[in-house]
Amino acid sequence: MTSRASRHTLSFDGYATTRSRLANYGFTLALLTAVAALVAGIGNRFGWWHYRLSFDILKWAAYAGVAAALLSLIGAIQARPGGTRRGFWLALLGMLIGLAVFAGPAMMLRTARTVPPIHDITTDTANPPSFVAVLPLRTGAENAADYGGSELAIQQQQAYPQIQPVFLDVPPEVATARAAAAARALGWEIVAEVPAEGRVEATDTTLLFGFKDDVVIRVTPADRRSRVDVRSVSRVGESDLGTNAKRIGAFMKKLAASS
C-alpha cells in the first residue's frame, strides 16, 4: 500500500524531494484570482450584473492576488533550486499571475487619483457638439447627454489641455468623410453619418468590461479649411479614468494621419 508520504515524494540519487504545498496553494489561488478578474469583466459585458458588482469582484480579486503572490513567494523560497523541495517555477508563475491581477486595479486606482472625476470630454467646451442619433441608445443611461457647463469645462481644461480641435485643409464634406473613416478604423460603431450637417455619431465599446461610450464628431467651415470637433461621453460611471480623453486623442491622431 502506498503511504501518504510516498505520494508526494520522489527519489533522485538518494535524496528525497517533496513538492512545496505553499507553491501549489499560491499557484492555485493565483489562477482563481485571474479567473475572477476575467469573470468580473465578462459579467458586465454581457449584462449579468451591475458594473459596480464587477468592480467589487475585481477589488477582492486584487486582494487575493496579493495573498497568492505572498504564498507563492514563500513557496519559491521553500522550493528554491538546490533545496529539498520541488515547485520553484510553479511558485514563480503564481507570483507573476497574482501580481498581474493586483496590478490592474492598482493602476486604475492610481489613475482615478490623478484625473478629475468627469466622463464628458470635448474639443469645444464653449459650444460642445450635440448628440442626435445616439440619444435613443442612451435611454436609461446613468449619465445624461447634456453638457455639464463651465465647471466641467474648467476641470477638463486643467486636466487635458491637449484636447483641441483639428483643422484640415479640405472642404467640410471631405473632412466629414475622413472623420467617419478614422472612426471606423478605430473600431467604433457608426450610428449616423450626415455629410450635409458635417456630423458623425458613433459608439465605442471598451475591451474588457464592455462599457459603451458615445462619440459625436462635428465638422464646420473655417475660412478655407474645416474645423473638426469631437465629444466623447460615457454612459455610466462618474469618472472615466481618462478614457474619453485618450479616445479623442487617438481619433485626432488617426485623422491627422489621413490628411
Each residue of 88-116: pLDDT tens digit? 999 999 999 999 999 999 999 999 999 99
Could you give the CA distance from residue 218 to residue 201 in angstroms, rounded to a whole number?
A: 9
Q: What is the pLDDT of residue 84?
A: 62
Q: What is the pLDDT of residue 130?
A: 97
Q: Which of 215, 126, 116 is nearest to 164 (CA)?
A: 126
Topology at the third CATH level for domain 120-258:
Alpha-D-Glucose-1,6-Bisphosphate; Chain A, domain 4 (3.30.530)
Could you give the CA distance from residue 94 to residue 69 in angstroms, rounded to a whole number?
A: 6
Q: What is the pLDDT of residue 259?
A: 66
Dihedral sign (CA 112, 116, 118, 124): negative
Neighbours of 258 (CB within 10 A): 14
Cα–chain center distance at 156:
20
Give the SS3 label for residue 86: strand
Q: What is the pLDDT of residue 95?
A: 97
Q: Which of 118, 101, 115 is nearest to 40 (CA)?
A: 101
CA atoms within 13 A on the CB side of 246: 10
Could you give the CA distance from residue 156 to residue 150 in angstroms, rounded to a whole number?
A: 10
Dihedral sign (CA 191, 177, 169, 257): positive
Could you give the CA distance from residue 199 to residue 182 in angstroms, rounded to a whole number?
A: 14
Output the nine-digit C-alpha cell for 76: 519559491
Residue spans per domain, the chain = 4-114, 120-258
Ranges in the chain, pLDDT < 70:
1-17, 82-84, 259
Antiparallel, parallel or unpaired: β 15-19 and 85-86: parallel
Q: What is the pLDDT of residue 257?
A: 87
Q: Which of 110, 106, 130, 137 is nearest to 205 (CA)?
A: 137
Could you give the CA distance from residue 210 to residue 205 in angstroms, rounded to a whole number?
A: 5
Are the C-beta atoms of 56 and 91 separated by less than 8 Å?
A: no
Q: Which of 210, 149, 186 is nearest to 200 (CA)?
A: 186
Cα–chain center distance at 234:
13
Give the SS3 label for residue 52: helix
Could you give the CA distance from residue 118 to residue 70 in angstroms, rounded to a whole number?
A: 36
Give the SS3 label for residue 233: strand
